[in-house]
Structure 1
Amino acid sequence: MSISSEETAHRTEKLQTDDSPQRLGFAVKVINQNGLKANDARRWQSGPHLSVTIGYLHEIFAYLAKNEITMYRMSSDLAPYCTHPDMPQFWGQIGACGDGLAALGKAARENDIRLSMHPSQFIVLNSPDPVLVEKSVRDLLAAAEILDAMEMGPEAVLIIHVGGTYGDHKTGCERWVETYRTLPEPVRRRLVLENDDIRYSAADVLSIHEETGVALVFDNLHFWCNNPERLPLVETFRQFLRTWTSARPKMHFSSPNTGMREVRRKDETTNKLATFYQQPIWTGHADFIHPFEFTQFVRDAFAEPGTPRFDVMLEAKAKDIALLRLRRDLLRYAPDVAVRFGLAGEPTTDDTEYYDEEGEPGNESGDKMVE
């Protein structure tokens, strides 16, 4: 599906003038509601099916609506084994669930929930192995077909990374571009590319965008961890925003985990298992979002007039609890930022809201938080 330059300009102008509240979202697992499952994760011997996943997602969407959460990343394993070449019994799930997927999409739209999927690290479009590329394309096509069957708009995207370097960084980019140009239309229509924290930087994906027109998702933590070109953060972020022409831009935001890491291994002096502590790895996500870092990022982004609004997927280990906490923190510390996300009301100041009497992380029901 191609659009004219005039239509692209019209869509871009519409995005730049969109003044509806920005969204905050979280990924896959719901922590603050015991028992909610994101997908049918049973092993193949138990006959898992997309129809079961659809039921789970209806429950999650109801939870999102109740808490006025309007952005959610679905699991990348909604239809179990549906592309497995040696398990034909799982083929055809998407077609068989057409009515169920349409009803699920209607529920998402009625509750104004922006959806996305982030297929796994095993999706590698720039691999020199054609078998792996073919499998990756099959998996992406299945994900795109699910979103199409749900009748979701262009805002429902599939986010992937470039892939491996295979000893030649430049060739890795070139192979990605070559594969992208051969992708099925449903995949190409929804696919967006994210800068990663180790191999392909913001500069790399910007160069791929210049070759393909693919929209880009900016990840703030990945940018800090992998920016060998020393690009300026805010201007680079704005460049990413300008790559979106068919939907409001989205980005990923996380705070680095600053805690000591516990490692269980054998003590060479006693020959027994013991707990050792290591310094943090900055690519790791924290449980929560640092509200002051987030606030400064948003303020800097809008310091320049004409910056389009963008939605934010929070990547925090505390998932929905982290989102609810950030909303409260924005009302308390940064009401000017809170209003951008449609937040209103009096801020609370009780920092123990999600902790049980022993000081352990928990939810509003008093249940301890689990990862």
Structure 2
Amino acid sequence: MILRFGYVSTALSLWEASPSRTLTFTNWKKQDKKSRKEKLYHLTEQNLKNTLRTLHYNIAHGIDVYRMSSSLVPLATHPEVNWDYVTPFNHLFKEIGSLVQKHHLRVSFHPNQYTLFTSPQEHITANAIIDMTYHYNMFEAMGLHKDASMNIHVGGAYGNKEEAIARFNNNFVKLDENIRKQTTLENDDKTYTAEETLRVCEEHGLPFVFDYHHHWANPGNERVVELLPRIFATWEGTGKPPKFHLSSPKSEKLIRAHADYVDIEFAIDFIKALKAYGKSADIMIEAKAKDKAALRLVEELGKLRGFKRTSGGAIEL
């Protein structure tokens, strides 16, 4: 079995390579029409070019799993800005998609925490649909819309989980079917446990992204080994191994915050549970040190008996 490790958004090892340069609506509004357009075009071009730089870095280091920045396009979903962010950069989007496909990389987006389908307020659901559509449009421009995924959480409980989940069930199906097909759900660190999130995934036929750190902070009654068969089952038919998230607590007091690197002592029980299950998986490292954290953890695992490092970002067990 193979475990592949990836990271989120920014390769800290690269100089000035942020793919998340942005512009606030307040600053946009202060500028004249020409300056607004120039600023939006400049930032978007920089973000897309830095994404390409990052992908080349990943390829060179054997990192096949990568989460793209949701902030590639500044003010893309703001109703008062409402600009065509695809046509002017079609060549860059296509270049990104071609690179991903050529090297068989696994990429994803993670829309922000305000992308909710459990809210009793209709405008929150409407905004969630807009945000999911924005991410899907970018994948479509890249030619990855049938392959790459967008990961979200179930959302808030609003004082009653059963009612909130019922709202999720009603609101989520308002999304375009093609977008729903590329959506995954993740358990969170305060509200919906892994088992509760799994039930929603099973209801909608969605793949489940299990976050070990979140499960540790918000465990429910199930152990990892008990959940793995159901987790893997949600990925059947996708043609991909399951994806997991991994980070470790920043401190004893800040247990939900992510540390700079992954503490191997914290992570090893999870890794061993995957090893015992015996099937390949992809693991997204969510540590603050980004690519450096992913590469360090793979290096540390590669030194253990029964773990063989096969590239910068992969371990064979």
| Structure 1 residues 338 and 292, CA gap change in structure 2 (3 angstroms) | farther
Say which SS state the counterpart of residue 111 (structure 2) adopts: coil
Structure that is richer in helix per residue: 2
* Correspondence 1:50-65 to 2 at 5 A: 50-65=44-59
Other-structure match for 2:302: 331
Say which SS state the counterpart of residue 138 (structure 1) adopts: helix
What are the ranges of 5 or more consecutive residues in structure 2 without an aligned counterpart? none
Are 1:237 and 2:228 an aligned pair?
A: yes
Other-structure match for 1:283: 256
- 2: CA distance, partners of 1:158 / 1:343: 25
- 2: CA distance, partners of 1:176 / 1:41: 30
Other-structure match for 1:35: 16
Other-structure match for 1:172: 164
Cα offset for 1:252? 0.2
Cα offset for 1:55? 1.3
8 Å contact 1:39–1:56 — kept in the other structure? no
- 2: CA distance, partners of 1:82 / 1:179: 22
Are 1:141 and 2:133 an aligned pair?
A: yes
8 Å contact 1:25–1:70 — kept in the other structure? yes
- 1: CA distance, partners of 2:209 / 2:308: 21
Other-structure match for 2:283: 312
How many residues end up aligned between the 2 structures? 300
Are 1:294 and 2:267 an aligned pair?
A: yes
Say which SS state the counterpart of residue 302 (structure 1) adopts: helix
Cα offset for 1:339? 5.3
* Correspondence 1:98-117 to 2 at 5 A: 98-117=90-109
8 Å contact 1:158–1:190 — kept in the other structure? yes
Letter in 1 for 2:250: N
Are 1:87 and 2:81 an aligned pair?
A: yes
Cα offset for 1:319? 0.8
What are the ranges of 5 or more consecutive residues in structure 1 without an aligned counterpart? 1-18, 259-278, 345-371
Other-structure match for 1:354: none
Cα-to-partner distance string for 1:189-222 (whole Å, 9 max, x where unaligned): 2110000000111121122123211111000011
Say which SS state the counterpart of residue 3 (structure 2) adopts: coil
- 1: CA distance, partners of 2:192 / 2:80: 33
Other-structure match for 1:349: none
8 Å contact 2:209–2:242 — kept in the other structure? yes
1:126 aligned residue (118, 124, 141): 118
Cα-to-partner distance string for 1:141-168 (whole Å, 9 max, x where unaligned): 1101111221226552111111111111
Cα offset for 1:316? 0.6
Cα offset for 1:255? 1.3
Other-structure match for 2:196: 204
Cα offset for 1:343? 4.8
Letter in 1 for 2:10: K
- 1: CA distance, partners of 2:21 / 2:69: 10
Letter in 2 for 1:322: A
Cα offset for 1:172? 0.7
Cα-to-partner distance string for 1:14-42 (whole Å, 9 max, x where unaligned): xxxxx6x4321001122122211113323
8 Å contact 2:136–2:145 — kept in the other structure? no
Letter in 2 for 1:289: V
| Structure 1 residues 333 and 153, CA gap change in structure 2 (3 angstroms) | farther
